[in-house]
Chains A and B, each alone.
Chain A
């Protein structure tokens, strides 16, 4: 099996509105897939569907061959919500230790994940006293517990400085190289070039699906154009 996720005809209704309109896509193992699109287009909703916490879902969504949200999948997916989703009043190590206990992971796993996001020096600090970027790395460290085979990361690089972003993207690629499927969302188009594959989204539908180079070609642009231009070109062309 080369896909972690296979989705057909996915529609989601939130409140009274349909926010995802019949999506078909797959997410391959061993690649970093970027989910890009403007604010409010449905990125978080799609991610919530994959981890099985979204209601109002129609269509088939299978993760590792099982329906999304199945009990057996809960050990195999690492998820960071758009908020860092950690406890502000606990230290970094206490946060990790708690989630590790919920997952039934060893103590050593806590240290490994803290080191993976480079927070070793802050391990005993209370999360509330960390910077925004450090805090979101704590959230990421929790998602790495137990080495899940699918990582669903909702805007993990927002608000981080360029050096740190660079570090995180290399980490995503290192993880992908070990066979993990990494899905990263962003509303910043300049992160697109760092993905192996892109899903460009707008108002609950995909405008394009492919590698950055393929998408530029589809948009009729050359390789030195950026994804933002490609996005705009495709938007202008598509009937609204």
Chain B
């Protein structure tokens, strides 16, 4: 591990993003637009339903966007030869992984600051807990998405395939996280599965922050998300072989 190399990787990923305005817009502006759209859809319904789905959305976007962006960018590194060149250089595998996690964590912080600012400031989402903690959850969530994206990039042969992992790995988590049907109301088996999925923990943490000012449970959920993110990074590291067949 070398902090010089980690920072070099993170700086380079950010420089690439700065050049790529469309991706940057997808990462930061699109979640805001979608949240606004949902808010608008629920506007005329009774019972403030946006307060129920809002937190789940704040947890979902960093996860999905980082999953997609990371799986495609690392796949490009694998197929374009740059990863092979880096591995022939004095770069540790963890330098590479942490560099990516750092860069995308930063982008996620910006993204969730924008989304939280919009939801709380303009769309009147009520939040009882500390707003900064909301951002911390979003960043952990984004790192989780990055870690999973990194992992699946090892199994995809093309960018098209990488994107196809999204319905397989991400959509079930969205369905079972409690956004559509509250988890306790799901059939027992699905509830059990939903309860252990990482996105559910992130959604729970966000929901809790909007309803209560106590933070104990938030930290517990955050620990679950962080645990999954660490496991994802470990799996990612395992797929990042210096010697390949």
Contact = CB atoms under 8 A, between A and B. Distances in A.
Interface stretch (B15-23, B104-112, B127-135, B173-181): B15-23
Contacts, number: 83
A20 B243 CA distance: 16
Contact of B85 (A85, A88, A89): A85
A15 B245 contact: yes
B241 interface: yes
A104 B4 contact: yes
B91 A85 contact: no
18 contacts: A53-B87, A74-B90, A75-B90, A79-B88, A81-B81, A81-B84, A83-B80, A85-B81, A85-B84, A87-B80, A89-B16, A90-B19, A98-B11, A98-B12, A101-B11, A102-B86, A102-B89, A104-B4
Chain B CB within 10 A, most for which of A56, A86, A98, A102? A102
A196 B172 CA distance: 61
Interface residues of B, number: 27
B26 to A, nearest CB: 15
B157 interface: no
A67 interface: no
A14 interface: yes
A128 to B, nearest CB: 10
B211 interface: no
Interface residues of A, number: 36
Contacts of B8: 98, 101-102
B86 A54 contact: no
Given A101-B4, A102-B90, A81 B15 contact: no
Contacts of A53: 84, 87-88, 242-244
A58 interface: no
A51 B19 contact: no
A90 B17 CA distance: 10
Given A15-B245, A74-B90, A90-B19, A81 B5 contact: no
A55 B4 contact: no
Nearest to B5: A102
A142 B244 contact: no
B82 interface: yes
A81 B85 contact: yes
A88 B19 CA distance: 11
Given A77-B88, A84-B81, A101-B11, 16 more contacts: A51-B88, A53-B84, A54-B243, A69-B242, A79-B88, A81-B81, A83-B81, A85-B85, A90-B12, A98-B11, A101-B5, A102-B91, A103-B89, A103-B90, A126-B19, A142-B85
Contacts of B19: 89-90, 126
Q: In the A-B complex, list the 4 residue pairs whose CB atoms are closest, starting with the nearest.
A: A85-B81, A101-B8, A81-B81, A83-B81
Contacts of A98: 8, 11-12, 15
